[in-house]
Structure 1
Amino acid sequence: MFEAGDIREWRGHSVVDGGDHKIGTLESVYVDTATDQPAFATVTVGLPTRRRLAFVPLFGATVGPGYLKVLYDKRLVREAPWIDTDGELPADAEPALFSHYELPYEPGAGGERRLARR
């Protein structure tokens, strides 16, 4: 896995799936508040007149020259929970995001949010 500081430098680069199909452009990185490790990224997807930010897990992601490769298929990412380009993920939407990718979800020990944008 790469450090959160390193991946922020990739903002604006292509995000591709395992078949090297371009999903979109890396916008932001969200870290797991319990571990402070990169957990999800938002990817700019959609038509120029209707852009949105789709979430994709960073588990198993790899970086290359000018791209970030994720383990998830382009179609799955494009169907994932999303926010407007100027929006935020509400805390009550986090469980649905994890569920979309069939990942376990547990809020923080004190009930705090699981993800934080960095």
Structure 2
Amino acid sequence: MSIDRNDIEQVIGQDVHGADGEKIGSVGQVYLDDQTGRPDWVTVKTGLFGTRSTFVPLEQAQRTEDGLRVPYTKDQVKDAPNIEDEGHLEPAEEERLFAHYGLAGGAAGTPAAGRAGEGTLDEDVVGHETSGPTTGDAMTRSEEQLHVGTERRETGRARLRKYVVTEEQQTTVPVSREEVRVEREPITDANRGDALDGPSISEEEHEVTLHEERPVVEKETVPVERVRLEKDTVTSEEQVGDTVRKERIETEGVDDVPDDRRA
């Protein structure tokens, strides 16, 4: 999307990328056209520590998710005319920039673009900012605030695995067996008839069957328990921190004011 006055505060400080996607620097200031108030130029901080500011036109610039994209290469921006960032572009300076970037100059009678907030859009304005849109007689002080959240990430996995082991078990079981015992009883009137039943003299055998118990082992598979994995959420507190920037406003050329009235 193109840049308009509503985008100024969001653009300042954003990364600037060239036509090939390479990062050139970051936005320092936004300059407005003195007549229309339309953003025409930005200064891009370049160099190792962002100490050098170079003017780049916004005519074909686009806002993107990662900042500001301009149709120029990093080398083209770095080779632009070295013009001091002093709050206003003179017509001659603007013409040098137009020539460098291959753009047509402004129409006759159109003044050079001024620093953001320096256009004369409202005749009743009694003050202006040098780094943002015109806001009347007040200056906006901003600061960075920390917004802390959490993100969910995988830390590991747990699984159940079933395997078979063999162990010896011993148990005691009672067993019984039959044994032969000889019993003798005298002849009495009660058993005389049984004793005399049969021949008086003969050969005879009498047999009994003996039994005994032996241990028998059988195995049966039975379920004994159910095992599952459950997750518990444990909450702890961790200290996080980062550096934040805050704007401070100081006065020059005015009498001291009470502390409770200072920004």
TM-score w.r.t. length of structure 2: 0.39
What's the counterpart of residue 59 of structure 1? Answer: 59
What's the counterpart of residue 101 of structure 1? Answer: 101
Deviation at 1:65, TM superposition (A): 2.4
What's the counterpart of residue 86 of structure 2? Answer: 87
Q: Per-residue displacement from partner, 1:64-114 (whole Å, max 9, x unpaired)?
A: 224101111111011112345x634551322111111121224652xx631
> Partners of 2:10 and 2:34 in 1: how far apart?
20
Amino acid at match of 1:54: T
Contact 1:3 1:37 in 2 (8 A): yes
What's the counterpart of residue 31 of structure 2? Answer: 30
Give percent identity, aligned residues only. Answer: 33
Contact 2:32 2:115 in 1 (8 A): yes
Contact 1:38 1:58 in 2 (8 A): yes
Contact 1:15 1:68 in 2 (8 A): yes
1:21/1:15 CA distance change after superposition, 3 Å: same
What's the counterpart of residue 11 of structure 2? Answer: 10
Q: Which runs of 5+ in 2 are unaligned?
A: 117-263
Contact 2:32 2:114 in 1 (8 A): yes
Q: Per-residue displacement from partner, 1:11-70 (whole Å, max 9, x unpaired)?
A: 11100012110000101111223432221110001122x721101111221112241011
Q: Provide the aligned length of Structure 1 versus Structure 2.
A: 114
Q: Which runs of 5+ in 1 are unaligned?
A: none
> Partners of 1:3 and 1:40 in 2: how far apart?
11
Amino acid at match of 2:58: L
> Partners of 1:117 and 1:90 in 2: how far apart?
8
Amino acid at match of 1:115: A
Stretch moving more, 100-109 or 68-77: 100-109
> Partners of 1:14 and 1:3 in 2: how far apart?
17
What's the counterpart of residue 113 of structure 2? Answer: 115
- Higher share of residues assigned strand: 1
Tell me the SS of whatever aligns to 1:9: helix
What's the counterpart of residue 78 of structure 1? Answer: 78
Tell me the SS of whatever aligns to 1:44: strand
Contact 2:83 2:93 in 1 (8 A): no
> Partners of 1:65 and 1:71 in 2: how far apart?
16
> Partners of 1:70 and 1:106 in 2: how far apart?
19
What's the counterpart of residue 42 of structure 2? Answer: 41
Contact 1:14 1:66 in 2 (8 A): yes
1:67/1:106 CA distance change after superposition, 3 Å: closer
- Higher share of residues assigned helix: 1
- The structure number with the bigger radius of gyration is 2
